[in-house]
């Protein structure tokens, strides 16, 4: 049967700044998924989209076509409403770990499909896999059962959700087209809409450790994704949050799990608690639950109970001792003063080089590797006191990690820096 369109015509149309019609978009996504459109042709189209953009109608149709390439999950049979959260990624961003059980403790089911880390940004599944026995891969039936009994699940997305996105994502990564906002927005939202959640809260990071380096670009991405959610009937809210400084006090897999459990126990770093509660309140409200304050569920232990049940349901031992790296190296403060800057990207690269992340998808990560910092911007430090501790099983990695930390922090006599607030903006 002959094809209804021609790839060259679609590429030419976008190259010449024309809007693609619905038929062209539906065909090119389907044909690329089937292998009729070659990688080099889709690469050319992705570059044309990067350079010339897309209208909201085009982005919505592109997203719908990617959703149509696979299956859609259905949570309508659950006894409670559903809400999900997506972060655009950052350094020390362990928020999903305490957030999912916290929201579940408030009566909202959380079907959290997460991914693995690549480069300087950590992956939620890598973090949880540092817990002995915990498994990321669940069938749809097991996921539904756990949502019904526990209220929260964090697991890997099945191959059936938006397979067009999986193929296109890998292509964008090697063709310098990752930065195209229409393609970022449709990639994220196609998976989240296909996942079937009733409400979605987006954590769009801004700063050196984030994909979006400035507020204007982050706001454009957030606004685009909120619009896509609205078009698909998913209640969607976005928070713009700062990622110029890494979150919490650790970046690494087991290190971040430990910090997350501290938050669930009522402690942990103030910024992690603040962002967890802010996102939880948005998720609960978006799901239509108005008479519950997540802070109460954190304070009275219900969130910790939900965490333990969630980990155990996926084969993990919530009481197990987590892996600890065999080697540590301490970086001390060179002078007295106030820490005015700690660069998120450089800390993330150091953690990656220590073994906490991967350069290729097939790389193995070290559960105990990572970076711990003992002060945050605005804190006073003393000369010779520990500022950073590097963790790894392979001490030959210290040299490259230390190289990545050169110039990563500033210490001054007083805190005169003009930092962004943690919560920058809300878009709904």
Catalogue the active-site residues: 86, 165, 172, 187, 191
Contact 14, 46 (CB under 8 A): no
Terminus-to-terminus CA distance in the chain, angstroms?
A: 45
Degrees, nearest 5: CA angle 328-263-285: 140
State the CB neighbour count (10 A cutoff) for residue 350: 27
Where b means 16+ CB within 10 Å and e means fewer, 319-340 reads eeeebebebebebebeeebbbb
> How does DSSP assign 36-72, residue by residue?
SS-HHHHHHHHHHHHHH---HHHHHHHHHHHHHTS--
Asked whether the CA dihedral 365, 121, 349, 334 is positive or negative, the reply is: negative
Instruction: Sort 135 into a burial class: Cβ within 10 Å, 0-12 / 13-18 / 19+.
Output: middle
- 263 φ, ψ (degrees, to nearest 5): -65, -45
Say how far apart CA 84 and CA 152 lie, in whole Å: 10
Which residues are CB-neighbours of 334 under 8 A, at least 6 positions away?
383, 411
d(CA 48, CA 28): 14
């Amino acid at each position: 049967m002959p094809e209804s369109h021609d790839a060259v015509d679609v590429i030419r149309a976008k190259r010449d700044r024309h809007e693609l019609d619905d038929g062209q978009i539906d065909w090119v996504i389907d044909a690329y998924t089937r292998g009729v459109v070659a990688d080099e042709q889709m690469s050319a189209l992705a570059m044309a989209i990067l350079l010339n953009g897309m209208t909201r109608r085009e982005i919505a149709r592109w997203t719908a076509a990617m959703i149509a390439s696979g299956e859609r999950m259905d949570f309508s049979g659950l006894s409670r409403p559903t809400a999900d959260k997506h972060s655009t990624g950052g350094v020390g961003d362990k928020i999903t770990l305490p957030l999912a059980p916290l929201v579940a403790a408030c009566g909202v089911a959380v079907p959290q499909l997460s991914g693995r880390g690549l480069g300087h940004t950590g992956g939620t599944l890598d973090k949880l896999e540092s817990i002995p026995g915990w498994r990321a891969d669940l069938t749809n039936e097991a996921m539904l059962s756990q949502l019904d009994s526990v209220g929260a699940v964090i697991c890997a997305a099945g191959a059936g959700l938006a397979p067009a996105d999986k193929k296109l994502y890998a292509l964008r990564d090697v063709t310098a087209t990752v930065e195209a906002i229409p393609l970022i927005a449709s990639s994220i939202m196609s998976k989240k809409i296909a996942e079937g959640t009733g409400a979605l809260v987006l954590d769009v990071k801004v700063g050196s450790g984030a994909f979006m380096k400035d507020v204007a670009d982050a706001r454009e991405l957030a606004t685009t994704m909120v619009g896509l959610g609205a078009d698909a009937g998913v209640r969607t809210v976005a928070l713009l949050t700062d990622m110029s400084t890494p979150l919490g006090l650790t970046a690494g897999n087991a290190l971040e799990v430990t910090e997350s459990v501290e938050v669930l126990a009522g402690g942990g770093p103030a910024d992690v608690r603040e962002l967890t509660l802010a996102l939880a309140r948005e998720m609960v409200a978006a799901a239509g639950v108005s008479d519950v304050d997540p802070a109460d569920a954190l304070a009275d232990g219900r969130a910790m109970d939900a965490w333990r049940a969630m980990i155990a349901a996926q084969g993990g031992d919530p009481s197990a001792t987590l892996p600890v790296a065999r080697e540590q190296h301490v970086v001390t403060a060179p002078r007295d003063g106030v820490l005015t800057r700690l660069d998120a990207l450089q800390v993330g690269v150091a953690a990656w080089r220590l073994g906490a992340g991967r350069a290729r998808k097939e790389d193995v990560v070290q559960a105990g590797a990572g970076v711990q910092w003992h002060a945050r911007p605005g804190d006073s430090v003393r000369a010779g006191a520990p500022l950073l501790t590097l963790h790894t099983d392979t001490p030959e990695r210290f040299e490259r990690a230390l190289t990545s930390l050169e110039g990563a922090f500033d210490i001054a006599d007083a805190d005169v820096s003009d930092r962004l607030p943690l919560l920058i903006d809300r878009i709904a």
